[in-house]
Amino acid sequence: MANMNEMMINSIRNREPLSEPLIGLRSLLKAQGTEGYIKLCAKRISDSKLIDGIAIIVDLSDPFNLLMTCDGMKSAFDIIKGYCDENNLKDYIKALDNTRQYFNKINERAAYFRLLNNSILRDMKKKKNLNNSLSPEEINEISVFAAEELKARKMHNKLIRFFVNIANRIKVFIKYRQTLKFICTTQYIEH
């Protein structure tokens, strides 16, 4: 449960929902001992036009590695099962789906705290007006989440998030500038 609380606090601090869990095709094939077939498998998925940028994404740092959500694995199941054990693949899909449901619960809880006004959050932080049927641990969790939400709403935290976001964008641009330059050039030529 402590892990869920940490993820919840990070979601509140960052003001963003947790993203959909992804699994890399390379790590999936490596776990099955068939990593040597990654180019062939990725090409077959690409030729099937399953790469949509949402459920199946090309990993910019490793062009033959595809990052897949649970839905992406389901759509490419028939291709990937040629390189992996079908039962293991179903277990991976089930694990990704369970993780997605877990993340959705955290996102819902964080969104609930974002909707509350400051006076209610202050009362929660002070442990006032909370349901008596809650356990002491639950009351402490609610108090911590309310305090984090109040902190995240302060102007200096908004500025910190803004500048960190800009710094991350610059870092990605610098790291992948050649790839981005190639993509921009290719798109310009196509039109």
pLDDT in tens, the chain (191 residues): 448 888 998 888 888 888 899 999 999 999 989 999 999 999 999 899 998 888 999 887 887 889 999 999 999 999 999 999 899 999 999 999 999 999 999 999 999 999 998 888 888 888 887 777 788 888 888 889 999 999 988 888 888 888 888 998 888 888 777 776 766 665 555 44
Do the beta carbons of residue 97 and residue 15 sit within 8 Å?
A: no
The residue count of the chain comes to: 191
Alpha carbon of residue 140 to chain centroid = 27
Closest residue by Cα to residue 93 from 82, 104, 81, 103:
81
Question: What is the Cα Rg of the chain in Å?
Answer: 21
Side-chain-side CA neighbours of 39 within 13 Å: the count stands at: 1
Query: Cα dist. 143→35, 47, 62, 118 in Å?
Result: 47, 52, 43, 13
Pairing label, strands 23-24, 56-58: unpaired
| Edge-to-edge strands, sheet with 23-24 | 23-24, 66-68, 56-58
